[in-house]
């Protein structure tokens, strides 16, 4: 589940998107682990996670890497039914994960049936490439994502003015095409295939963005509205 925006990160502690994520888990009372690596394991972000999920039928926990206390990361993460990744700096997230072997473990967990979800940096990290503000005030392409999902991704497509033109320009220059999602819209993948887009709002769209005959084409994907 790749959220272009929304969920508890935006202060919606009763978000339908977060309910949907839990509904994908393999058990009725799933273990859900929050990874706040992209925010430097900010305490306030973890507090928001617990505020949102402690009221739901699940078993929330978080994993710190900047103040690491878990010795066996593989055993810990393989116990989780859902891994929910927060927003922040995508490049830093990938670097820290690779240093600790989290990238390898998450692929293993995904292949074993763990639901992988996230917002912003936590949404685009799963793709081969993405549009990110990791390197400063200007948006840029990042080409060494985890590669669990093919192509590229761009979040916040309607709320940040530069996202759309930068993504389109990069794709026109040969950057991998992929998907964009607006606020309160999420892309649901099964394996490496897009199943549907879903939204917690009455508006909002997702898009497939690709190079077609030398021009950038955007194909709107109308989400299913969650009620």
pLDDT in tens, 19-32: 999 999 999 999 99
Average pLDDT over residues 135-153: 97
Structure tokens at 103: 């990238």
What is the domain range of residue 213? 2-225
Residue 35, helix vs strand vs coil: strand
pLDDT at 22 (0 to 100): 98
- Cα 119 to Cα 75, 182, 212: the distances in Å are 25, 11, 28
pLDDT in tens, 85-100: 999 999 999 999 999 9
pLDDT in tens, 63-80: 999 999 999 999 999 999
Q: State the average pLDDT for the chain.
A: 97
Residue 39 φ/ψ, nearest 5 degrees: -105, 15
The Cα–Cα gap between 160 and 100 comes to 32
Q: For the whole model, what pTM was predicted?
A: 0.97
Active-site entry in 156, 188, 199, 200: 156
Measured in residues, the chain has a length of: 227
Average pLDDT over residues 176-192: 98
Helix (H) / strand (E) element for 206: namely strand 206-212
- Cα 122 to Cα 38, 92, 102: the distances in Å are 8, 12, 13
- The yes-or-no answer on residue 120 being catalytic is yes
What is the CATH number for 82? 3.40.50.880
pLDDT at 62 (0 to 100): 98
pLDDT at 125 (0 to 100): 98
- The yes-or-no answer on residue 159 being catalytic is no
Contact predicate 48/36, CB 8 Å: no
Residue 132's pLDDT band, with cuts at 50, 70 and 90, is: very high
Active-site entry in 9, 39, 120, 152: 120
Residue 158's pLDDT band, with cuts at 50, 70 and 90, is: very high
């Amino acid at each position: 589940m790749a959220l272009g925006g929304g969920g508890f990160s935006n202060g919606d502690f009763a978000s339908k998107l977060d309910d949907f994520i839990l509904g994908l888990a393999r058990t009725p009372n799933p273990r859900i682990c929050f990874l706040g690596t992209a925010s430097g394991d900010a305490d306030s972000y973890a507090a928001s996670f617990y505020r949102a999920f402690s009221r739901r039928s699940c078993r929330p926990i978080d994993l710190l890497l900047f103040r690491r206390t878990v010795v066996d990361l593989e055993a810990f993460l393989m116990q989780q039914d859902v891994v929910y990744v927060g927003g922040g700096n995508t490049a830093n997230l990938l670097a820290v994960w690779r240093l600790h072997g989290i990238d390898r473990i998450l692929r293993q967990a995904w292949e074993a049936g763990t639901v992988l979800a996230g917002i912003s940096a936590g949404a685009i990290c799963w793709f081969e490439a993405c549009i990110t503000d990791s390197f400063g005030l200007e948006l840029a392409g990042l080409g060494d994502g985890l590669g669990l999902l093919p192509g590229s991704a761009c979040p916040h497509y309607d709320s940040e003015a530069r996202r759309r033109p930068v993504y389109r320009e990069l794709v026109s220059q040969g950057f991998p095409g992929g998907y964009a999602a607006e606020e309160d819209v999420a892309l649901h993948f099964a394996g490496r295939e897009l199943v549907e887009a879903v939204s917690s709002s009455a508006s909002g769209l997702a898009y497939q963005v690709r190079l077609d005959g030398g021009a950038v084409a955007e194909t709107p994907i109308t989400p299913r509205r969650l009620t």
